[in-house]
């Protein structure tokens, strides 16, 4: 029997995956050091970390990072190279694949499959730079030039009031 598909990572697991995607294959010590460095660089305002920028406290200790990496190995989120005395971990899936899985889950759970609602909320929630908006426009142009697929009953066309 094959291994079940990789599960959706927790916040702590995502922090570790970000390190592995940025650094490439790494030891527990490397991951721990990178998480500590990220925590030290987080923005502080009025003596407190800015919301949404802190690395989770649970990933701060070396034994905790080791345990999370062991759990991630069992879940299929990372692969472990045991050929050397110091084990080296690497992501089992590309960052883009993991992001796509997370977006699909959010899309289904929070927006009932309505992609336009997700996009509208994402654009409303955070300010986009002119470069990011140009990238979004380019993607929209590419999507519009693709052959039409059958309509998705969970994603009705967006209409404006009075149209």
Give the mean pLDDT of 146-159. Answer: 64
Give me the residue label for tokens 């009953």: 153
The overall average pLDDT reported for the chain is 83
43 compared with 124, residue with greater pLDDT: 124
- CATH of 11-94 given 1.10.10.10, 2.30.110.10, 1.10.3680.10, 3.30.2290.10: 1.10.10.10
Q: Which of 105, 22, 10 is nearest to 56 (CA)?
A: 10
pLDDT band at 109 (very low <50, low <70, confident <90, very high): very high
Token pair recorded at residue 150: 């059958």
The answer to whether 115 touches 121, Cβ cutoff 8 Å, is no
Half-sphere exposure for 71 (CA within 13 Å, toward CB)? 16
pLDDT tens, position by position, 88-108: 999 999 999 999 999 999 999
153 compared with 85, residue with greater pLDDT: 85
**pLDDT at residue number 153:** 60
**pLDDT at residue number 147:** 86
What are the residue ranges spanned by the domains of the chain? 11-94, 96-145
116: Cα separation from own chain's centroid: 20
């Amino acid at each position: 029997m094959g291994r079940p598909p990789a599960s959706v990572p927790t916040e702590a697991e995502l922090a570790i995956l970000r390190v592995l995607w940025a650094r490439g294959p790494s030891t527990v010590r490397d991951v721990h050091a990178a998480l500590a460095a990220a925590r030290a660089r987080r923005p502080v305002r009025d003596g407190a970390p800015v919301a949404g920028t802190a690395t989770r406290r649970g990933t701060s200790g070396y034994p905790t990072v080791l345990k999370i990496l062991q759990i991630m190995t069992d879940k299929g989120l990372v692969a472990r190279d045991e050929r050397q005395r110091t084990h080296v971990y690497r992501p089992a899936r590309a960052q883009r694949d993991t992001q796509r899985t997370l977006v699909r889950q959010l899309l289904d759970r929070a927006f009932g499959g309505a992609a336009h609602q997700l996009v509208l909320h994402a654009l409303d929630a955070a300010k986009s730079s002119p470069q990011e908006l140009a990238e979004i426009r380019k993607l929209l142009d590419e999507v519009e030039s693709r052959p039409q697929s059958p309509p998705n009953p969970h994603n009705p066309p967006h209409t404006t009031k009075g149209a």
